[in-house]
Chain A
């Protein structure tokens, strides 16, 4: 019912923009907004697993910041000198934290991407660029699990005559494994030949290939794209007004926070929370529809 039910193009536009935002904005407030939203959304999508992953990321961020500041010594506010006599500065430490959060944030956003984007959405998007490329991708997606299965099958067959990859002494095992691998390669080539025959038989070499899709661009998708770009406009204003700019070197310098700034923060938060909002809204609608019955 969630964001994954939207058109792949919508998913794609959203995630590219939101991850771009995460990477580009080094301003702590924007950074924090995006990070927190990613944090919440990933938990909404992946539950406890996401929570564990995200929480583990936090000490990593701190560790990265300390690592970064012990190798970079820009800035004017010296906190202390380390054992080899280099200055540890506040600026580099803060910047280390900023970079750490950017990386962690991108990772969390990607965990959301992973749960929203199924392989056929990727194939579809590639199909928009080039039907042949997407076909190629689909073939790989089919072949890889097949090869894995065949490897298992060959191994089982070999075990049935005492020549499996885990039978005999170390040398025999090694020899058996190599044999299995070499046969797997032969099998793959053989099977690809047959697949290509089946493809040609169904006209894959004809000109003017089109990509089929089961997706439909509906009104919800339109509404989503419109809101997406409305938010982006607000954020763009913030960029034009230098509200997202910040300097860490040599001193932390940023434009003063005004009433206008809050508008931008809210705009950015709305943008980052859009998929979560969509999911909560659909769930609410579903719940309500159920209740009436």
Chain B
């Protein structure tokens, strides 16, 4: 008997005027399976997942049937549903209910009314399994994002669910915390046999381990197969979702590979060495960086900063010159001081040593209105915190009275259709673009972006990249702080490594990532033994093509 059996399920929201969010979805999930659900934002993934648990199911018109262990889900009582179907949501902060780690772990057990002895045993068990002992007594507020999401998972696992549903659980986490979290989920699946259904942007980390991948588009399931076959199928269909596939798959089909496609970097390497044992062309031209930058848009000279008098320095001599009209990316680990650097540029943090010059003029010499009106603007990490009105249109009207300009910017950021929605109702990618529009209305010549790709799927990332390219053409200088090496490798003009409060190395992306062997893109890790300076999937495909031509 299937664990979950979805039969011809259709669903439409009351506000959608008959438009179906789910359209004839049929899916069978066996016990112990690990299933990845992928699709663009708005393809109905979340709507589908929410139908699997009655308390979370949205209101609307529903047709079809969902069977949980053979019983229709509406007839499964709440107690069983609470315990047996675990559901992890996107934002780690919004799921934590209580103020202490230990209390949160026990929350579900309290609801089920377990006795003290059982609760103690289960909580202890969970704390050990998830490595929470060290922060068991802490306040939730002091945890990192990764720890918070792990706590959410642990507190759900404490109820011993049979099935675990995860809705983009790592979209708010940094890459290291994200892959830790996904590894834990995998461990649960393998060691405990818990069925896992997960939606995720970061397919590289989960695709190789999934039993099945289900692709959704426009509320329908368009493919349901093993990950290897899915790659092939999407490539044949020329589906947009192909861009979201892990690098090895994209390179394989991009270079016209035949047979079974590689899923992991290791498989990709084996395939490349077999196909190109002695490549004729093995290097792409990588332009060098000019030593002298004339008239930098932004120049930082040995910035030192700390938040409190007795706290350690966050910035320890940050120096950088950003040439005008470029996209400058700063990469580096968590808490290295990248965001603080941006704050120092726009005067939110005041360095106690060093100089910030914006367009050749020290930042403190600007008047506030002059600085933020037409000179620079910052897009914060959480785009939500930029909105202050009920609709996107009102929010944009905040910034300028010029209707024409608003329409222009809305067109650039592709948010025309969203103008009358509440900013909080938009998806992550849409919020990001609406926030960008708002920031652009201050007419900045220097744009600071803090993690612009956080929580956005690959489709929206490409959209964002096109917008950024357009802005660059208009002569806007962009400084971006990011964890997303793939994005930086593909679109940045210059990349800097931030470590230990300093800007360590700066180079063009090809040379920067080409010379790194750990902190680099999947394409580079996959191809570095045969090609050098190939840092994106496109680079590798290009080299493969050149080699093929040379062979002919």
Contacts and interface: CB of A to CB of B under 8 A. Distances in A.
B55 A212 contact: no
A141 interface: yes
Contact of B100 (A120, A168, A182, A186): A120
Contacts of B448: 160
A195 B94 contact: yes
B207 to A, nearest CB: 27
| Chain B, interface SS category | helix
A145 B380 CA distance: 21
Nearest to A172: B369
Contacts of A120: 99-100, 103
B123 interface: yes
Contacts of A200: 55-56
A85 interface: no
A161 B94 contact: no
Nearest to B102: A214
Interface in B435-462: 438-439, 442, 448
Contacts of B424: 186, 190
A156 B89 contact: no
Contacts of B261: none
A155 to B, nearest CB: 9
A202 B99 contact: no
Interface in A154-189: 154, 156-163, 167-168, 179-180, 182-183, 186-187
Contacts of B111: 202-204, 206, 209
B547 interface: no
A199 B87 CA distance: 11
B543 interface: no
A198 B343 contact: no
Given A119-B99, A135-B98, A194-B89, A157 B442 contact: no
Contact of B103 (A180, A206, A212): A212
Contacts of A182: 388
Given A201-B53, A211-B110, A159 B346 contact: yes
A198 B108 contact: no
Interface stretch (B77-85, B168-176, B223-231): B77-85
B378 to A, nearest CB: 3
A85 B438 CA distance: 73
Nearest to A150: B385
Contact of A202 (B82, B115, B116): B82
Given A120-B100, A198-B94, A199-B97, A146 B113 contact: no
A142 interface: yes
Interface in B96-125: 96-100, 102-103, 106-116, 119-120, 123
A190 B423 CA distance: 12
A233 B98 CA distance: 40
Interface residues of A, number: 53
Contacts of B99: 119-120, 138, 141-142
B123 A160 contact: no
A208 interface: yes
A200 B53 CA distance: 11
A258 to B, nearest CB: 50
B142 to A, nearest CB: 10
A162 B386 CA distance: 11
A162 B371 contact: yes
Interface residues of B, number: 67
Given A204-B111, A206-B113, A212-B109, A162 B373 contact: yes
B116 A213 contact: yes
A119 B102 CA distance: 13
B379 interface: yes
A156 B378 CA distance: 10
Nearest to B123: A212
B140 interface: yes
A183 B103 CA distance: 30
Contact of B95 (A159, A168, A194, A208): A194
Nearest to B165: A201
A211 to B, nearest CB: 6
Contact of B348 (A159, A205, A210): A159
Contacts of A154: 385
A145 B99 CA distance: 10
A150 B384 CA distance: 10
A226 interface: no
B486 interface: no
Contacts of B439: 160-161
Interface in B495-549: none
B141 interface: yes
A191 B97 CA distance: 11
Interface in A201-237: 201-214
A203 B348 contact: no
Contact of A161 (B107, B113, B156, B438): B438
A197 B112 CA distance: 16
B116 A201 contact: no
A156 B343 contact: yes
Nearest to B89: A198
A201 B87 contact: yes
A79 to B, nearest CB: 53
Contacts of B399: 161
A158 B380 CA distance: 9
Contacts of A157: 378, 380, 382, 385-386
Interface string B329-373: 000000000000001001010000000000000000000110111
A190 B387 CA distance: 14
A128 interface: no
A209 B442 CA distance: 53
Interface in A96-134: 119-120, 123, 131
B57 to A, nearest CB: 11
Nearest to B81: A203
Contacts of A5: none
B159 interface: yes
B198 interface: no
Interface in B140-183: 140-141, 152, 155-156, 159
Contacts of B94: 191, 194-195, 198
Given A197-B56, A212-B116, A203 B108 contact: yes
Contacts of A153: 380, 382, 385
29 contacts: A119-B99, A120-B100, A138-B98, A138-B103, A142-B98, A145-B141, A153-B380, A153-B385, A157-B385, A159-B348, A160-B439, A161-B386, A161-B438, A162-B371, A162-B377, A162-B442, A163-B372, A180-B388, A197-B89, A201-B82, A203-B82, A204-B97, A209-B113, A210-B114, A210-B115, A210-B116, A211-B110, A212-B123, A214-B137
Closest 6 CB pairs of A and B: A162-B372, A203-B82, A160-B378, A212-B106, A203-B111, A208-B113
Interface of A: 119-120, 123, 131, 135, 138-139, 141-142, 145-146, 149-150, 153-154, 156-163, 167-168, 179-180, 182-183, 186-187, 190-191, 194-195, 197-214
Given A145-B141, A204-B111, A209-B110, 4 more contacts: A160-B439, A199-B97, A204-B97, A210-B110
